[in-house]
Structure 1
Amino acid sequence: MLRSIQLWGSLVSCFLLLKSCSVGDGTKPSSPADYVNPFIGASTSVGIAEVYHGLGKTFPGAATPYGMVQVSPNTITGGDNSPGYSYEHQTIEGFAFTQMSGVGWFGDLGNFLVMPTTGKLKIIAGREDGSIDGYRSHYNKQTETAKAGYYAVDLTDYHIKVETTAAAHSGMIRFTFPQHKESRIQIDLARRVGGTAIKQYIHKVDEHTIRGWMLCTPDGGGWGNGEGNADYTVYFYARFSKPLENYGFWTADIPDNWKRKRDEVVSIPYLRAVEKATIIRDEETLEGKHLGFFSDFETSENEEVTLQVGISFVDMAGAENNFRKEMEGKSFDQIREEAYDLWNQELDRVHIQGGTDDQKTIFYTALYHTMIDPRTYTDVDGRYIGGDKQVHQESGFTKRTMFSGWDVFRSQFPLQTIINPRLVDDQLNSLITLAEESGRGYYERWEIMNAYSGCMIGNPALSVLADAYVKGIRGYDVEKAYAFAVNTSKKFGNDSLGYTGAPFSISNTLEYAYTDWCIAQLANRLGKQEDEELFLEKSRAYRNIFDAEKGWFRPRNTNGSWEIWPEGARTKEWYGTVECNPYQQGWFVPHDIPGMIQLMGGRENVLVDLTSFFEQTPDHMLWNDYYNHANEPVHLVPFLFNHLDAPWDTQKWTRHICNKAYKNSVEGIVGNEDVGQMSAWYVLASSGLHPSCPGSTRLEITSPLFDEVKFRLDNDYYSGTHFTIKTHNNTAKNIYIQKALLNGNPYDKCFIDFQEIAAGGKLELFMGEQPNKKWGVESN
């Protein structure tokens, strides 16, 4: 079975390779958006990934940069299918207006599911395997097209072409129907990727328009199958081009004592209950526990029918206002063109030259994926729902959501500090206001629609805060931000024992030690000397779980004793660690690399061990016990070689990872995209820069894939206009830096300070086939 899945994956890759690097008219790409291939990573298959985490888990549908709305095909409701779509599925159950991108937990959103059909009305989507019939349709893979701001496909069961596009707070679908007396657009208002909306309301406004809402709480599953505490209401305002002359509702009687989460809503009893829903045709308003809406009409051959939808998380007035500002009076092609222009504007923050077509496609698609989240949570009038469930008016920032902290502090937010510092300010203001409005007074590590989901570990917001502040990004209340950071460390940290006990002693202790160091950096710059000394001392907590006898980090019990050291302990997944093993997590002491090296036996011992760590990594780069790029704990590890006076190995391994872990194919991201983190790593590393310790202004220099990378700088934050990395003699074999110039002057360091970047200028790297073991080495 696995072999057949792998063969299917290879065929998918070949097909995408042929169709992804061209524009709609077959010409060569001429702008950044033309290189975007949204199919990269668009699979949740655990078979191809060979691990329970699956692959990229991205969605292929239409979106705008950091937009609230994503109009995307959905192929499945239940299971661990966070984007609602997986490329290997053969049927589509509808097109939703909200989606998550690349998350590893049980997903959410997938709201307002629209499906065009013909013939007899069917109430349920049915199952992908065909065991239960429904309105889902097979689709023609040869017609499936995904571009920046646009998606299209032919539904073969109904002979209907579907095209989607989006604006920031709204979306549009264009259907091309066959000649049929029973054509239809139907909307499942209860639908949610990981469960169901528990209550819905709908009102027919006029002959073309409906509006309403869908209440989604943890009782209906969603994020983490309800454990993630996602609690939100989606409001909509939808206008049909075809008059609502023969419309109706369906309402299913779901018993109050039924569970309505991920597995239950796709179970046979639940589907059969919905299938028996009552059809209502003589009402204009309805509220219930499981509602749908449909509009029947006759169509001529190739007749186009459109649906425009404004979405809000505030109220119905907000949804209507979003619609009127972005959709009203505009054609599908006009909205599509505007979305395309928005993507070009944002993607042009980084301009590349050189590289192969595949590398350019991977790069700009990666940059595209970093611009899905953190998405706007604010309506066009500046209103948003706060952590107190009340309506607030933004003041000087855009409220954002989807902060996958444990993932994105490593690469995604360091990337944004270069190309989009305003976004970083927005995110920090969003976290600060959430801590204040919720009354909790501390930062959430994984925020989704104001929820304190508690997902993953550590205190990643402290890293984002420190990294922003030391780089001069300070458009927030700094004292308030600092106070919440201290509160966060007190609530989640190593305070009581000087380390953290079971079950994740290693992961928690190391990550808390790092983010305490981050607070010390803030304290230093704010003149809080006593706090600085306190948090510097706390940052040394990593030493308390290093077992000198074993020569590695080892989990401790709360009574001070060591946990039993099993056979193969260093590579035993979940042994004192989260989603990794001690060998992978143990390298994470970014704030005190010299101290870590000393504990591990000195430079030579560490170099041997670190080299072995990479050399034992399988060539396919999928989930493994060594350098497991499919998950975040190791993402800073390749840059340790720069600190070990072996920068040529950082150059060697980052090139290797870029070439092996990323492809122009569906399986082109070896692990979950994780809300931009996997892609941000590629954007930075392939450009030749990456931090080894966010919260420091030091950026590591490595081997770029491209002849030139030009970062556009924001003059509201930085004095420079562009920072350029230019390579000479750069080829697939010439991966090693021979010498460097910074603004025309010789430069012999393997790292650069952020202030050099912010000031603008040019870093030139001269490449060769063999390492130059004199360049970038401090001992020289």
Structure 2
Amino acid sequence: MDTINPPAIIFVYMKKILVCLFSLVAIFIGLPVMVSAQLAVAKAGGQQVSFPTKYPADYVNPFIGASTNIAKAGAAHGLGKTFPGAATPFGMVQVSPNTITGGDNGSGYSYEHEYIEGFAFTQMSGIGWYGDLGNLLTTPTTGPLQIIAGRHASLGKGYRSHYDKKSETANAGFYAAFLTDYGIRAEATAAPHSGMLRFTYPASQQSRIQMDLARRVGGTATEEFIRVSGKDAINGWIKCTPDGGGWGNGDGKADYTVFYYVRFSKPLKNYGAWSAAIPGKQSRKLEDISSIHYDSLVMGATITRHFQEEKGKHLGFYTEFATTEGEEVLMKVGISFVSIENARQNLEKEIPEWDFNQVRKNARDLWNKELSKMKISGGTADQRTIFYTALYHSMIDPRNTTDINGQYMGGDHRVHQSARFVKRSVFSGWDVFRSEFPLQTILNPTVVNDMINSLVTLADESNEQYLERWEFLNAYSGCMIGNPAIVVITDAWNKGIRNFDLAKAYQFARHTEEKFGNGASGFKIPSNDISATLEYAFSEWCMAQLADSLNKKEDALKYLELSKSYLHVFDTAKGWFRPRKEDGSWRPWPAEGRLKQDYGTVESNPYQQGWFIPFDVPALANLLGGPDKMVADLNDFFEKTPKSFTWNNYYNHANEPVHHVPFLFNKLGVPWLTQKWARIVCENAYSNTVEGLVGNDDVGQMSAWYVLAASGLYTVCPGDNRFEICSPVFDEIIINGGKSAYAPGKPFRIVARNNSPANKYIQSAKLNGHVYNKCWLTYQDIIAGGELELEMGSQPMKTWGVEETNR
């Protein structure tokens, strides 16, 4: 019999009390709830006291999707196109490595590239169309000054550097890599309006930090200004216009100015600027600035030492200093889209000291707070990483473009002040109305409300009087099709998210439909009439719902009738959708039939686009010969999809038009097929790898799809408040967006009992303790808080969730 040690017994009880107290305090003050694993944090009586320490942020792998590789994607669109650098939730600043200038590399980074050109303070995530931002490119170097990146071997090495892939590290709010050409370790972290770099140098008499102020993803800045301010600071601005390419290689009409304020931990003693004389007639689009001719022009730049101010068409800055082995040199940057003074205030408020580790911790804490709005258990470690990384990617945009003092740059290129909402930008409407914004109505309804205010005030300030479908820093880029802003507004209004100017929102929504809707012809011609007609029909249905909610009966009837325009592009002889000529006759039917890519469609084929009547699935089933025939065709659609789920002619998860399709089975009376195929897509189209997103993340849409589907929920038709129930990947999911003007802040818990890869079928369900036989929930069910219990099994339960109204 063991001897009882009284001190040991006391310690055990003290340990239990401490754990309980810690948990209660965490719940009371709202600390992020930790997921699993343990780490010692204190010692008592010679033994370690352990608390759970695996926070949601610890699961984030920013390398998921961080590639533009076309070969691995199997399509010209490439892979996820995310960036691995440091960011904060919905923040203005992203400090990330840039590996390339040129090509359709919207994030400025691709994992397989061998060089890092530098670290920029603004990035776009998951987008194609050449991209933009990538401003304030900063590179630590040693040795002779190089003022071009070095992309053309005949012109010399340049300032870019090889880097050690094994040293490359990224997590929520942090990035690091070792630049082998210079022997420098580079680390990056971020705050909402500012960022910080820490460089660890070798011993050198000629160490340096240099900034290519003209550099821009997808093109070049067209004019820059720099001023030396005191012994350790510079400030200025970078003007980016369509003449310099950028968003859509200029076609996106991006026209913005980044104001910056930079401080260095070493005083400015040996510093200078280079200014290249770019001829006035020289084109500065992407294909020009990435050419050997353009780099040759830059190499002829004038270098001015110890200047006070410089302005030009292609500027760079450097500061040189001696370093000892292992010496750390830091720089911190505040940015603003309003003014230099605001950039300074943003920096001094957020990063007043030189404590890199504290800034990194602050960023991680911000991510833990946001990511803890969803708590999961079960699944594999990889699945938890995929989930929290997807949630992370869904919270990069729409980003805050309002400064700390409440000022923002408006659509009239004037400074505005707002205490009512946060001005936000990067609205990838055609993509994000499907999953990203429905997810945020649950987790971050204030962000949704902000984005609506931002779109409405933009329409007002710019005097455009309509709602842009793909907004980027006040630009009306006109990218893609449809009227997604109307969808987002209708969805928000019907969910009670209503703190915006409704009169103006409705006025601009009407103008938008009149400008871009189906109109009297009932279909859009000549080139994309299937996709455009169906997309506009959906936004017209949303307009009808919004008008009905506002008791505008005449408008409601008008737009409800227009929403039936999809009938004009349905060929009863072919039994499918078909594009028309301008005279209304059918375009020739191709040999590939409905599998023909771009046959009256956008980034899809008629087979993929034709399922998009989310607001009237029974009517679609009727067109296709009844629910049974539609189910058979849908099932065949999935059966013929390659297991890799890369770009293909069937269920092409790599692009948005089909994202709602797995959940149509719920509305056709066969919910077990939604459970089957949604789970299969989760398991096969996502992975914890660089290639883990089979297509562009598109500003969080691809990631938001996974978050919802893996949680057992998805919305087919934003605007009707219905979330389809599917097969959760995890055993338990707790959703709590917190208390706000739009939600009481009560948790909603989804429990999947006996869950496993084999047990993907729902056998029975209870909602708040009562038997539940619907295959859907309402938005109000979720935000009110409660519990959905699902009993899982290996075989379909064909009586659960089947209602006559589903068919």
1:650-699 deviation line (CA, Å, top 9, x unaligned): 00000000011100000000000000000000000000000010011111
* Pairs within 5 Å for 1:279-678: 279-678=303-702
Q: 2:141 aligns with which of 96, 117, 125?
A: 117
Determine the C-alpha separation between the residues in 2 that align with 1:22 and 1:724.
22
Q: 2:754 aligns with which of 729, 733, 737?
A: 729
Contact 1:22-1:34 at 8 Å conserved across structures: no
Contact 1:89-1:128 at 8 Å conserved across structures: no
The verdict on how the C-alpha distance between 1:386 and 1:734 changes in structure 2, with shifts beyond 3 A counting, is same
Q: 1:761 aligns with which of 772, 783, 786?
A: 786
Identity of aligned residues (%): 60
Quote the residue 1:182 is aligned against. 206
Quote the residue 1:714 is aligned against. 738
How far the C-alpha of 1:322 sits from its partner, in A, is 0.6
Residue identity in the other structure for 1:574: D
Question: Which structure is larger by alpha-carbon Rg, 1 or 2?
Answer: 2
* Pairs within 5 Å for 1:198-209: 198-209=222-233
Quote the residue 2:715 is aligned against. 691
Quote the residue 2:242 is aligned against. 218
Contact 1:640-1:692 at 8 Å conserved across structures: yes
SS of residue paired to 1:306: strand
Quote the residue 2:765 is aligned against. 740
The verdict on how the C-alpha distance between 1:329 and 1:134 changes in structure 2, with shifts beyond 3 A counting, is same
Residue identity in the other structure for 2:767: L
SS of residue paired to 1:143: strand
* Pairs within 5 Å for 1:149-298: 149-298=173-322
Contact 2:723-2:777 at 8 Å conserved across structures: yes
SS of residue paired to 1:238: strand
How far the C-alpha of 1:713 sits from its partner, in A, is 3.4
Contact 1:29-1:35 at 8 Å conserved across structures: no
Determine the C-alpha separation between the residues in 2 that align with 1:629 and 1:777.
26
* Residues 1:72 and 2:96 are matched in the alignment: yes
Unmatched 5+ residue regions in structure 2? 1-35, 41-49
Residue identity in the other structure for 1:625: N
How far the C-alpha of 1:132 sits from its partner, in A, is 4.6
How far the C-alpha of 1:128 sits from its partner, in A, is 7.9
Contact 1:353-1:708 at 8 Å conserved across structures: yes
Unmatched 5+ residue regions in structure 1? 1-20
Quote the residue 1:18 is aligned against. none
1:419-449 deviation line (CA, Å, top 9, x unaligned): 1111110010000000110101110000000
SS of residue paired to 1:280: strand
1:617-669 deviation line (CA, Å, top 9, x unaligned): 00000000000000000000011100111100100000000011100000000
* Residues 1:135 and 2:151 are matched in the alignment: no
- Indicate the larger mover: 623-632 or 530-539: 530-539
Contact 2:265-2:354 at 8 Å conserved across structures: no
Contact 1:217-1:232 at 8 Å conserved across structures: yes
SS of residue paired to 1:51: coil
1:454-484 deviation line (CA, Å, top 9, x unaligned): 0000000011011111111111111211111
Residue identity in the other structure for 1:528: K
SS of residue paired to 2:798: coil
1:44-98 deviation line (CA, Å, top 9, x unaligned): 0101111100000000000000010000000001111110000000110100000
Contact 1:740-1:764 at 8 Å conserved across structures: yes
Please provide the CA RMSD for this pair.
1.5
Quote the residue 2:115 is aligned against. 91
Determine the C-alpha separation between the residues in 2 that align with 1:758 and 1:248.
56
Residue identity in the other structure for 1:763: L
The verdict on how the C-alpha distance between 1:425 and 1:129 changes in structure 2, with shifts beyond 3 A counting, is farther
How far the C-alpha of 1:585 sits from its partner, in A, is 0.2
Determine the C-alpha separation between the residues in 2 that align with 1:426 and 1:720.
19
Residue identity in the other structure for 1:192: R
SS of residue paired to 1:206: coil
Residue identity in the other structure for 1:167: A
How far the C-alpha of 1:720 sits from its partner, in A, is 5.1
Determine the C-alpha separation between the residues in 2 that align with 1:411 and 1:447.
18
Quote the residue 1:775 is aligned against. 800
How far the C-alpha of 1:754 sits from its partner, in A, is 1.4
How far the C-alpha of 1:328 sits from its partner, in A, is 1.8
How far the C-alpha of 1:562 sits from its partner, in A, is 1.0
SS of residue paired to 2:617: helix
Determine the C-alpha separation between the residues in 2 that align with 1:632 and 1:115.
37
How far the C-alpha of 1:131 sits from its partner, in A, is 7.5
Residue identity in the other structure for 2:701: Q
Determine the C-alpha separation between the residues in 1 that align with 2:775 and 2:334.
49
Residue identity in the other structure for 2:294: Y
Residue identity in the other structure for 1:714: G
* Residues 1:144 and 2:160 are matched in the alignment: no
